Amino acid sequence: MQRHEMIEAMRGLGLRGMAGAFDEAVTTGLQRKRTTHEILTDLLRAEAAHRHAASIRYRMTAAKLPVVKDLDAFVFDGTPINEGLVRSLHAGSFVPARRN
């Protein structure tokens, strides 16, 4: 089986982590004279890491957390928040003055 056929077979089986790490794992494995077992172990670890990252991405999306805003996008009008104080804290102007 050719390299591209193996990668397509991995993708077809849903092993996207293995498919993405295939070239690197095989190349470094051959350079370091690793056994087939060790190369397969590297591919399995890459798949496990990919699935873990995908799981975290899915949970973060499902959590529907509020979007991060920067200070310029925040609207201070109609809130009890002191805009001048927040902007001075953000700028860090209190640090050189050694003011707490």
Q: How does pLDDT run across 24-81, given as a tens digit for each residue?
A: 999 999 999 999 999 999 999 999 999 999 999 999 889 887 877 788 888 888 889 8
- Cβ of 18: how many Cβ atoms within 10 Å? 24
C-alpha distance across the termini of the chain, in Å: 68
Q: How confident is the model at residue 97 (pLDDT cuts 50, 70, 90)?
A: low
Q: Is the pLDDT of residue 4 over 90?
A: yes
Per-domain residue ranges of the chain: 3-63
Q: Say if pTM beats, i.e. exceeds, 0.85.
A: no
Cα–Cα distance between 90 and 92 in angstroms, integer?
5
Kindly state the helix (H) or strand (E) to which residue 41 belongs, with its residue range. Answer: helix 36-63
Write down the pLDDT at residue 99. Answer: 62
Q: Decide which of 91 and 23 is more confident.
A: 23
